[in-house]
Amino acid sequence: MAEVIAVCISERKGIRKHEVPSIRVQCGHGIAGDAHAGNWHRQISLLAEESVDKMRALGLTLQPGDFAENILTRGLELKSLPIGTRLRVGETLLEVTQIGKKCHNDCEIKKLTGSCVMPTEGIFAIVLQEGEIFPGDTVTLEPCEE
């Protein structure tokens, strides 16, 4: 069973996200209080802890939010989900809109290791059903409505 390991926000762009007890997601906006929220296709970022574990294997000590992910999961290979996949995360519903992204040239992780998992293994989503997300919430695939 896939689950949420941590939820994270940042109040400003360009800084690492930090863990919070829960996040409130809003349709057409993303996460209340997060600097990357807005009416666009990358309202929420998700990363699998299995991806972070690859970087930890290189000797890095990493915390939730270090890759600027909003939601850290375990038990689901996020990078293999097609665009349009719907994810039930706790009481909310998200839709995958993008897989990976261009890495920032000044990414601290890339400077330290020569690589970063977010550009190839992170995913982005929009909010279809709002609510609150907590660590420990289940993550399941939801059939798309025809």
pLDDT at residue 25 tops 80 = yes
Number of domains in the chain: 1
What pLDDT was estimated at residue 105? 61
pLDDT at residue 135 tops 90 = yes
The DSSP output letter for 81 is: P
Mean pLDDT, the chain, whole residue set: 90
User: CA 90 → CA 3, 36, 55, 86, 136, distances in Å?
Assistant: 9, 21, 27, 13, 9
Q: The pTM is what?
A: 0.92
Domain with 53, as residue range(s), is 2-142
Compute the average pLDDT of residues 103-113.
Answer: 62
CATH number at residue 66: 2.40.33.20
Higher pLDDT, 132 or 113: 132
Residue 84 exposed, middle or buried by CB count within 10 Å (0-12, 13-18, 19+): exposed
Confidence bin at 120 (pLDDT 50/70/90): confident
